[in-house]
Every structure is written in C-alpha cells, then in structure tokens.
Amino acid sequence: MYKSKITGVGHYVPENVVTNNDLAQHIETSDEWITERTGIKERRWVKEGDSNTTSAMGLKASKMAIENAGISKDDIDFIVFATLSPDYYFPGPGVLLQRDLGIKEVGALDVRNQCSGFVYAISVADQFIKTGMYKNILVVGAELHSPGLDKTTRGRGVSIIFGDGAGAVILQRSDDESGILSTHLHSEGQHAEELCLIGPATNRWVDKIMEANDPTDISYYPYMNGNFVFKHAVTRFAEVIVEALQQNKVRPEDIDMLIPHQANLRISQFIQRKMGLSDDQVYNNIMRYGNTTAASIPIALSEALQEGKIKKGDLVCMAAFGSGFTWASALMRW
Ligand code: UT7
C-alpha cells in the first residue's frame, strides 16, 4: 500500500477587509462583542461585482499550491473540491476548476461536508493514493459566504462569523516516512438542522417560494443554533483528535502543530486547554479571516508553513467540526 503526503500548499483571500467596526455601521453589534465571543477582528468579503467566485478563488489557491509543490498542472490526475458555497447549484466547482486550470480530462469530485469538508476531502484523496489509483491529487477548500449572508441585525449571530477565501494542497504519493498517518471521519445527521441553509432545495421548489413571496422567509440564509453547536463542537473536536492520537500511539505532547478548523477562537482555546497544549502547538488565524468553513484549514496550513511554524518531521494534526454535524481529523508526519 502507498502513502500520501502534502507536497504543496497555497491560499487566496479577497483583498477587501471588513472589520468588526465596519459591521457595526449597519448591524447592532460591536467590536467588543465579536472579539469577546469569537476572537474575530476582521474578515475578507468580496465586493459586489467582484470576479472572485468560489471556483475562481479555488483556482488562485490551486496555482500557488501547484507552484509550491514544484509540479506542472498537467501532473494532476484528480481533483477533490470541498465547499458549501458552490458557484452553481450544479455542476459543482470541481469541473469548473478543471476547465479553468486548462488541464486534461481528469476526474473532479465535489465534497459537501461544510466545515469538515477539507479533512473529508484529504481523506478521500488519501485513499485514492493509497490504492495506487492516482499520484498527484489537487485538494481544494474554497468558500464565498459574503453574498449569501443576512447582513442585518436579524442575522448577526451568523453573519459576523463567516469570511471568504480559499486554500489548496497537492497530495502526492510519498516515497519516504512522511505523510498522512490516519484520517477519521464522523457524522451525526440527527442535528442537521442546527446549522444549515434550507432552501431553495428539491423539497422546496423555487416556483412555490416565488409564489409565496414571503419577506419573513429567512430560509435562504444560513441558520445556526450557536450555543448548541458550540457545545457539540468542543466535545467532538477533542474526541476526534484523541482518536487520531490513540490510533497512532502518540500523546498530545507529541503534536508539533494542531491546525483546527477556524470556527471560533474560543473553541480552539477550549480544545487547547482540554488537551493540555501550549500556544505554539496550536495555529489560529481566525482573528484575520473569520470562519471560512472548508477553506479555513488549508488557509491556516499555508500561513503556518509560510511563517516557518511547521518543519520536516513535525507531527501535524488537522481537525474540524461543523454542519451535519460532521467532524474529522487527519494526523500527518510532515
Ligand atoms: O464552523 C462551524 C461550527 N460553528 C461553530 O462552532 C460556532 C459555534 N457557536 C458560536 O461560536 C457562538 O455560539 C456564537 C459566536 C455564534 C454566538 O455566541 P454566544 O455566546 O453563543 O451568543 P448567543 O447566541 O447566546 O447570544 C447571546 C446574546 C443574545 O442576546 P440576548 O438574547 O442575551 O439578549 C444575542 O441576541 O448576544 C446577542 N447577539 C449579538 N450581540 C451583538 C448575537 N449575535 C450578536 C452580535 N452582536 N453579532
């Protein structure tokens, strides 16, 4: 059986910075409230008319990852694209990326696992490499949240959290000891409606919605039962990290870098305390980007590498929790 490893990483965030004070201009909120509850100071939101679609941001991150890996785009033999905010209802963004990269007709798979999407995507790609089916897989997480958020006071519990951006990695067949050690995936659909965006959907036909023309219908906006999600997040994050450690017979102190999905700085800090990790064992950049869902881990990984915080031989853990609920982890030897 082969092994896979990340050999190139890239990310892209839109230029437009939106601070908490900017939001407080048109939402009843404050920098104090947002900072205290989430740790977020600013996020990137595309400007109206911007050409940065989900797949376009994914393309920019992908080009950086390809260059960083030192391969040609023509070496890519499969694409896995994770997002909850695709350009179109269908087809998914994987094929758009294949087209816009201008590469041969390789397979393109879309992953719909929200905040856990990137770790799920890595796990899928890892299996393809392990079996020998593919050698160079482009794995992308990209999100364009801002156009779909309720930016009024009504939506403040959700809209202040999310940001736009993209991250990508090249997962390659490994010829040494480094690479992915294990991945762990979970779901609990019982809580699907606690963090969701309901309509329009196949059980809510567009003609019926248009006919109702109901201004109180907020089902087009993401909904989150914040407290409930928070409580589940802290439990599941810790569980799935411990699962990865136990499987590989290592301890929390062996982790060189934990890259948690950037859901809320308070969640990351809670996990850090629970696992007894030091500040330099956990990477956070939610302060600058907010929660970018499937993009948050590859953006954080890319920045951690740029800052020299991950070195060859390090034990790196990625972990995520989110809508579904779904949660997942991946442990790697860098
Ligand atoms: O990435 C996927 C997973 N997502 C998560 O893990 C997120 C989990 N949840 C959270 O991060 C937190 O629940 C939030 C940051 C979303 C909210 O924080 P909270 O401490 O749970 O606040 P809350 O929803 O309990 O609201 C407390 C109060 C409410 O007012 P009352 O009812 O006490 O008068 C809200 O109306 O804060 C109010 N509030 C706000 N106030 C100012 C809610 N949003 C805001 C806001 N600014 N943006």
Q: Which atom of ligand 1 is nearest to the CA of 23?
A: 48
pLDDT at 20: 98
pLDDT at 331: 98
- Does pLDDT of 263 surpass 90? yes
- Does pLDDT of 267 surpass 90? yes
For 184, left (φ over 0), alpha (ψ -120 to 50), or beta?
beta
Taking only the tens place, the pLDDT of each residue in 20-34 is 999 999 999 999 999
Closest CA to 93 of 137, 51, 59, 129: 59
- For CA atoms 274, 275, 278, 283, the dihedral sign is negative
The residue whose C-alpha atom lies closest to atom 47 belonging to ligand 1 is: 29
Burial 108-132 (b: 16+ CB within 10 A, else e): bbbbebbbbbbbbbbbbbbebbbee
Taking only the tens place, the pLDDT of each residue in 270-321 is 999 999 999 999 999 999 999 999 999 999 999 999 999 999 999 999 999 9
Residue 213 is a catalytic residue? no
pLDDT at 143: 98
pLDDT at 276: 97
In the reported structure, the alpha carbon of residue 288 is separated from the centroid of ligand 1 by a whole-number distance in angstroms of: 19
Q: In degrees, to the nearest 5, what angle opens at C-alpha 181 toward C-alphas 178 and 186? A: 150
Q: In degrees, to the nearest 5, what angle opens at C-alpha 293 toward C-alphas 82 and 273? A: 125
In the 3-class helix/strand/coil scheme, how is 215-284 assigned residue by residue? CCCCCCCCEECHHHHHHHHHHHHHHHHHHHHHHCCCCHHHCCEEEECCCCHHHHHHHHHHHCCCHHHECC
Q: How far is CA 327 from the centre of its chain?
A: 12
Mean pLDDT score of the chain: 96
Spatial CB neighbours of 145, under 8 Å, sequence gap ≥ 6: 45, 85, 162, 163, 164, 222, 292, 293
What percentage of the chain has pLDDT greater than the value 90? Answer: 91
- Does pLDDT of 147 surpass 90? yes
Residue 186 is a catalytic residue? no
Q: Report the C-alpha gap between 264 and 266 in whole angstroms.
A: 5
pLDDT at 114: 98
What integer is the mean pLDDT of 76-81? 98
pLDDT at 17: 98
pLDDT at 209: 82
- Does pLDDT of 202 surpass 90? no
pLDDT at 203: 80
pLDDT at 99: 98
263 Cβ inside 6 Å of ligand 1 = yes
pLDDT at 121: 98
Which domains are present in the chain?
3-176 (3.40.47.10), 180-333 (3.40.47.10)
Q: In degrees, to the nearest 5, what angle opens at C-alpha 229 toward C-alphas 295 and 318? A: 40
Token pair in block for residue 284: 């956070």
Q: Report the C-alpha gap between 319 and 252 in whole angstroms.
A: 13
pLDDT at 63: 98
In the reported structure, the alpha carbon of residue 291 is separated from the centroid of ligand 1 by a whole-number distance in angstroms of: 14
pLDDT at 94: 98
pTM higher than 0.95 for the full model? yes
37 Cβ inside 6 Å of ligand 1 = yes
Q: Model confidence at 11, in pLDDT bands (50, 70, 90)? A: very high
pLDDT at 21: 98
The residues that bridge with 78 in the sheet, in sequence order, are 107, 137
What integer is the mean pLDDT of 124-132? 97
In the reported structure, the alpha carbon of residue 306 is separated from the centroid of ligand 1 by a whole-number distance in angstroms of: 32
230 Cβ inside 6 Å of ligand 1 = yes
Taking only the tens place, the pLDDT of each residue in 206-219 is 888 888 888 888 88
In the 3-class helix/strand/coil scheme, how is 112-141 assigned residue by residue? CCHHHHHHHHHHHHHHHHHCCCCCEEEEEE
